[in-house]
């Protein structure tokens, strides 16, 4: 059986006739899928994907590994692979991977939604190595995996922008029919202006559903109160989400459910009519009404844009998290507790609470916190198959410390000031996505300019 790992990445890779480095992107994504599904090395997986993304956005043909190394996110080993590919037309590492029966079988089985590396290995150990063999053993699969196998080819095909727009129009119309107070936005690569998408990411909210439990107290009257009998016993959020899913299922738009909880639905959809006949992956996420704009910002992405937005001023975009005037001249965002500790103070025993908070939330590792200050500044070294970050280890450390010193944390749940104990306070009220940028004193970028 001949199989290339790159086939698994076609849904994630946005093909473009204007991409002069498409061949590099394809072999890097093939390596990335091998590292994720076979080697299970998430760091190399992220490094290969990062390099592929950088190369796909570079407007000129890369003609050497040395030239590639000038791009942030391309390390020495990846540059060496580009040189090897240019000289020989193939990669020895990929040749070995493609010759491995286990690696090829893992890649084949992992094409199915719901089958990860562990399940793939379990199937291989049980004598299943191809999709044809898997179809003959349906008892080995759960519901999600069964549907993933049924629609494997359709899920792998990318969704043209025109079709996503038609899905958006249909969903917004149906949701408005249900309850005009719902708000819905299609996020992800579509909102960033991509010509095609891998799936449809829909974010919804309702004023009866807030982070302080407003919906739980029964305030207001909405679709949550009129959900079908199937929704009885759910939380208020579950009823609001369930009402939307039920309504979208009535006309056959939602065809199957992969999983459904109180705040997230993962399923399959297909537009009514004869124009669009392919089944598509659909994710619907319900977020609290007061967190909606931060959530739209976060789930629009891209991942790299989100990382840079959180990481502060030494980045390429010089993101500023400094405290100053709020948007619309609403006055300074003062901190009554005074300035937060410096990095030196954080390392002291008196700042133990903050140190533990940083470690527990993943902003720094314990090794970072205990690292002694170097007497001599060493020459900066880029990790060969670098990490997700485009910065050196030292720069990332400084940026994490700076972001903390400014006293804010930003994620999909909101923009919050940090207290002296490192505990996030109440979220800053925002009424639009643009306002999040204004609070952070960061130049606003429309969604289509966030493909970093």
Question: CB-hemisphere CA count at 13 Å for 416?
Answer: 15
* pLDDT-derived band at 124, boundaries 50, 70, 90: very high
pLDDT exceeds 70 at position 385:
no
Q: Residue 58 and residue 72: Cα distance in Å, rounded?
A: 11
* pLDDT-derived band at 414, boundaries 50, 70, 90: confident
Q: Residue 174 and residue 137: Cα distance in Å, rounded?
A: 38
| Torsion angle (degrees, nearest 10) of CA 22, 24, 27, 28 | -110
Q: Residue 452 and residue 446: Cα distance in Å, rounded?
A: 13
pLDDT exceeds 90 at position 230:
no
- Give pLDDT, residue 340: 44
The model's pLDDT over 263-317, given as tens digits with 9 standing for 90+, comes to: 999 999 999 999 999 999 999 999 999 999 888 988 887 766 655 555 333 332 3
DSSP classification of residue 18 = T
Task: Report, as an integer, the average pLDDT of 74-95.
Answer: 95
Continuous segment of H or E residues that includes residue 334: none
List strand residue ranges (DSSP E) for 116-275, in order. Answer: 159-160, 183-186, 196-197, 200-205, 254-260, 264-269
The model's pLDDT over 127-159, given as tens digits with 9 standing for 90+, comes to: 999 999 999 999 999 999 999 999 999 999 999
- Give pLDDT, residue 434: 79
Which of 184, 164, 428 has the alpha carbon at shortest distance from 286? 184
- Give pLDDT, residue 171: 97
* pLDDT-derived band at 424, boundaries 50, 70, 90: confident
In this prediction the pTM is 0.63
Is 10 assigned a catalytic role? Answer: no
Which of 72, 46, 75 has the alpha carbon at shortest distance from 317? 72
- Give pLDDT, residue 236: 85
- Give pLDDT, residue 343: 42
Average per-residue pLDDT for the chain: 76
- Give pLDDT, residue 433: 76
pLDDT exceeds 70 at position 228:
no
Task: Report, as an integer, the average pLDDT of 389-396.
Answer: 34
Q: Which of 50-64, 112-126, 191-205, 297-311 has the lowest mean pLDDT?
A: 297-311
352 in Cβ contact with 364 (< 8 Å) = no
Task: Report, as an integer, the average pLDDT of 95-103.
Answer: 91
Which of 120, 228, 233, 247 has the alpha carbon at shortest distance from 177? 247
Q: Which domains does the chain have, with CATH numbers?
A: 5-156 (1.10.150.110), 159-295 (3.30.460.10), 304-449 (3.30.210.10)
Task: Report, as an integer, the average pLDDT of 374-385.
Answer: 41
- Of residues 297 and 360, more confidently modeled: 297
* pLDDT-derived band at 394, boundaries 50, 70, 90: very low
Q: Count CB-CB contacts under 10 A for residue 72.
A: 16
What would the DSSP string read from start to end of 97-138? HHH-HHHHHHHHHTTSTT--HHHHHHHHHTT--SHHHHHT-G
- Give pLDDT, residue 287: 94
Q: Residue 88 and residue 95: Cα distance in Å, rounded?
A: 12
Q: Which of 201-210, 223-232, 354-363 has the lowest mean pLDDT?
A: 223-232
pLDDT exceeds 70 at position 58:
yes
Which of 330, 346, 352, 445 has the alpha carbon at shortest distance from 403? 346
- Of residues 16 and 344, more confidently modeled: 16
- Of residues 151 and 390, more confidently modeled: 151
Q: What percent of the chain has pLDDT over 90?
A: 49
- Give pLDDT, residue 440: 63
- Give pLDDT, residue 445: 75
110 in Cβ contact with 37 (< 8 Å) = yes
- Give pLDDT, residue 300: 86
- Of residues 367 and 140, more confidently modeled: 140
pLDDT exceeds 80 at position 436:
no
Query: Which of the residues 12, 36, 81, 308 is marked catalytic?
Result: 81
């Amino acid at each position: 059986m001949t199989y290339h790992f790159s086939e698994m990445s076609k849904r994630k890779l946005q093909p473009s006739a204007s991409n002069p480095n498409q061949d590099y992107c394809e072999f890097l994504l093939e390596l990335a899928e091998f590292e994720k599904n076979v080697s299970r090395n998430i760091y190399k997986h992220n490094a290969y994907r990062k390099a592929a993304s950088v190369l796909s956005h570079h407007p000129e043909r890369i003609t050497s590994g040395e030239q590639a190394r000038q791009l942030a996110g391309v390390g020495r080993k990846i540059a060496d692979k580009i040189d090897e590919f240019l000289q020989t037309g193939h990669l020895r590492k990929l040749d070995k991977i493609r010759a491995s029966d286990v690696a090829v079988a893992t890649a084949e089985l992992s094409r199915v939604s719901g089958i990860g590396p562990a399940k793939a290995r379990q199937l291989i150990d049980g004598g299943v190595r191809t999709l044809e063999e898997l179809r003959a053993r349906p008892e080995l699969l759960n519901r999600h995996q069964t549907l993933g196998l049924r629609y494997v080819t359709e899920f792998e095909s990318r969704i043209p922008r025109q079709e996503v727009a038609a899905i958006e129009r249909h969903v917004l119309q149906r949701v408005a029919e249900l309850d005009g107070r719902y708000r819905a936005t299609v996020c992800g690569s579509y909102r960033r202006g991509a010509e095609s998408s891998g799936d449809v990411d829909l974010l919804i909210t309702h004023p009866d559903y807030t982070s302080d439990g407003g919906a739980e107290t029964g305030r207001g009257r909405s679709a949550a109160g009129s959900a079908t009998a199937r929704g009885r016993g759910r939380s208020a959020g579950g009823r609001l989400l369930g009402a939307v899913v039920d309504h979208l299922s009535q006309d056959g738009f939602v065809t199957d459910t992969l999983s459904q909880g109180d705040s997230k639905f993962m399923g399959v959809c297909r537009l009514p009519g004869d124009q669009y006949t392919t089944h598509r992956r659909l994710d619907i996420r319900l977020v609290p009404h007061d967190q909606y704009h931060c959530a739209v910002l976060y789930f629009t992405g891209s991942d790299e844009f989100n990382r840079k937005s959180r990481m502060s001023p030494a980045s390429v975009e010089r993101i500023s998290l400094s405290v100053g005037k709020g948007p619309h001249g609403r006055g300074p965002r003062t901190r009554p507790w005074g300035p937060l500790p410096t990095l030196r103070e954080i390392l002291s025993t008196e700042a133990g609470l903050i140190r533990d908070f940083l470690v527990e939330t993943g902003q720094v590792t314990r090794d970072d916190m205990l690292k002694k200050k170097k007497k001599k500044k060493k020459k900066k070294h880029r990790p060969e198959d670098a990490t997700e970050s485009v910065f050196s280890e030292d720069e990332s450390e400084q940026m994490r410390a700076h972001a903390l010193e400014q006293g804010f944390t930003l994620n999909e749940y909101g923009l919050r000031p940090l207290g002296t104990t490192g505990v996030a306070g109440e979220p800053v009220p925002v009424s639009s996505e643009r306002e999040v940028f204004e609070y952070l004193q960061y130049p606003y970028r429309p969604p289509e300019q966030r493909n970093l």
